[in-house]
Amino acid sequence: MPVMDVLTTIGGQAWAADAACGRGSSVPHDAFFARGLADIAAVKRYCTSRCPVQEECLEDAMRMEESHRERFGVRGGMSARARRQLAAQRRKAAEAELEEEE
């Protein structure tokens, strides 16, 4: 998903006004879509140490990505790979919960 598509989607959320990556951020938006491990780690640290809406951002990413299963960049302080793993864990937990109910 192109950077501007993600930013447009995020911009429509009430919590986005408080996002550390929003207006006035010293971090360029492209940094959130870096490919190098060191760059990804730096952006994750930025999110986890400075963003007051990290949890909202992560949950928004998880909701948005679940519908089309594409994950790109750092959102909510997590890389695309980490969010993919989190989605798999959540699916397994939901399946286990359904099995317990039966």
User: For residue range 54-99, what is the model confidence (pLDDT) as tens digits?
Assistant: 999 999 999 988 887 788 899 999 999 999 999 999 999 999 888 8
18 neighbors 52 (Cβ within 8 angstroms): yes
Higher pLDDT, 53 or 68: 53
Decide if pLDDT at 4 tops 70.
no
Burial classification of residue 100, based on how many CB atoms lie within 10 Å of its CB (0-12 exposed, 13-18 middle, 19 or more buried): exposed
Confidence (pTM): 0.81
- Of the candidates 47, 52, 75, the one whose C-alpha atom is nearest the C-alpha of residue 63 is 75
Tabulate helix, strand, coil % of the chain (nearest 5): 70, 0, 30
